[in-house]
């Protein structure tokens, strides 16, 4: 089975930076790795994805240019670098994994982390 554990969240000031990590246990070859977030009362929102083997990346328009996804094959870890954060970035952030051909859609992912809180103060 695939297990995902997020870390690196917390409180950050607007305009600052934060780096989230997702440690992956289990085989991820040919998997897509994705980052999503969900604020209270809102739907889960796609942020970024990367294909583990090829490194091909996908981004939501709302975060492109501010957030960067990457992976470290040797450490089985995927990262989300968040720069110039805004108060509207406040949400619970989730890492996900799946063998998917549509990496921007949440329902295409079979495995999810527990979520980690990111709070941006103004």
Element (H, E) at 35: strand 32-38
pLDDT one-digit tens code per residue, 9-59: 999 999 999 999 999 998 766 789 999 999 999 999 999 999 988 889 999
pLDDT one-digit tens code per residue, 79-97: 999 999 999 999 999 999 9
What values do phi and psi take at 106, rounded to 5? -65, -35
Structure token pair of residue 118: 């990111």
């Amino acid at each position: 089975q695939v297990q995902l554990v997020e870390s690196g969240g917390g409180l950050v000031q607007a305009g600052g930076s934060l780096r989230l990590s997702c440690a992956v246990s289990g085989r991820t070859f040919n998997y897509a790795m994705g980052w999503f977030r969900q604020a209270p009362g809102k739907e889960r929102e796609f942020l970024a994805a990367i294909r583990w083997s090829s490194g091909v990346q996908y981004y939501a328009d709302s975060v492109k240019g501010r957030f960067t996804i990457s992976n470290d094959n040797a450490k089985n870890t995927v990262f989300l670098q968040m720069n110039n954060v805004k108060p509207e970035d406040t949400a619970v952030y989730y890492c996900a994994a799946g063998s998917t051909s549509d990496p921007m859609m949440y329902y295409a992912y079979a495995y999810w982390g527990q979520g980690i809180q990111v709070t941006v103060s103004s």
